[in-house]
Chains A and B, each alone.
Chain A
């Protein structure tokens, strides 16, 4: 697979992610979150999982990002600056990253090159979903319905 594309994409993704974590303006941060997700989706494409990438874009850009900006607008009172970064958190994050990277680099078994990809068609995914993953699918459906109803109930104005 294409290494240049990979490098560019990962740089983009991580930069956007960092922006998300640090930008002061909430709206900018949110948009950069969207960019992050686009980057991740592109990485998925690179890894030959087009379908998942498309689903990711579809769900996150199309729905979740919009939801988030809406929420930001609805809770507008203290939008604007989001002050006072928490340095302990930053340190902890860096520590975790260090630990993980160290562990990954120590592990030799993951230093492998991708085998030749047998393209994963949507048809195959569909068959898998409908045969061996049908119960999880049903459960997710129920879960989503429950989440929908729950969210509605939560944001309904309580009559007083």
Chain B
């Protein structure tokens, strides 16, 4: 942590950065911190399990435009940056990407492409609790699962915090904002809420890094990130693509292999 702070102070003092995006202590937990001077660096805190995923700010022009930005990344944020670079959303050496590894090693990535070799060693895995809930759901009958999720989604107020917190949900016009046709009913109903989630998760299939920021953001505590996790599992099982590693062969749904499984097609 001291190394991190020292590095940021050095970057501020040398004029290499004007803004460092990191975390500081919030009301009860960490909150995103937009640090603008060496003297404020002291407030910075960091842990690899912090939420939200700060990579979400890198696609917000109004935040990063005209700034020289350093971003303090969790492993999940690193993954997101690698994916964002693949999707042309951030440039080659636009940001100083700083990371403190779980064994407290300070790492600075010159370009998003340099992240791949590092994260390739670290597959994205769900928490124990999440794994348990998924197993519980898997063990249910289809009807029981339906009832469970319908109850969850009757709480949803369509605030789209799940979308806002996701670094990969950077579309300027989301499908829910599209009303010709009205793909997803704009009002809250268990089904339209579920349809929104199906779209969100399908649109993230092969792009989601499994950071869980969506679930963490939900004010109603709906575990929407489990849907993403299930898809990561599904993709690994069916297409052999490990969760959270940078995709070498496209984004899963824009590529194919002629001998992909098709046991369900009769």
Our verdict on whether A and B bind, yes or no, reads no
Q: State the B residues within 8 Å of A (CB).
A: none
